[in-house]
Amino acid sequence: MSAIPTTFRAYVAEKHEDPEGIPFLERGVREFAEADLPPGEVEIRVAWSSVNYKDGLATRLDGKVARISPLIPGIDLAGEVVASDDPEIAVGATVVAHGYELGVSRHGGFTEYQRVPAGWVVPLAPGFSAREAMAIGTAG
């Protein structure tokens, strides 16, 4: 059973077509279903995500970054582990995840909760906050 609520808030970009077949992008904060998150061994209550150039491109119709629709952008995230199937990653740990497919072909950090593979998770050093990790950023 998931520790993520059934629904939560996320910033979502979704491609649509109008009645004439002209594409447009709907984007904004909305409810998102836990069941629509991809599989993974670690569930995180996201506290922070930075804003990167790639995130801006993911929210543009002509950005050519988003590989799925709908997409929660955010190529990085930091927060607290709320559930883990990996014995190396403890519930309650403050962690960061960045890169891989986040915010491009897999839902990213602009959300209240996220589920990711254990191999993508990096525990933060003691005394280093999730906010500090995202203030440094991960671009480049």
Answer yes or no: are the C-beta atoms of 49 and 76 closer than 8 Å.
Answer: yes
pLDDT tens digits for range 16-69 = 999 999 999 899 999 999 999 999 999 999 999 999 999 999 999 898 899 999
DSSP run (H or E) holding 57: helix 53-58
CA distance 75 to 44: 15
pLDDT tens digits for range 60-112 = 989 889 999 999 999 999 999 999 999 999 999 999 999 899 999 999 999 99
What pTM was estimated for this model as a whole? 0.93
Handedness of CA 74, 138, 140, 97 (dihedral sign): negative
Token duo for residue 115: 């589920």
- CB burial class (10 A; 0-12, 13-18, 19+) of residue 104? buried
Angle at 125 between CA 45 and CA 133, to 5 degrees: 55
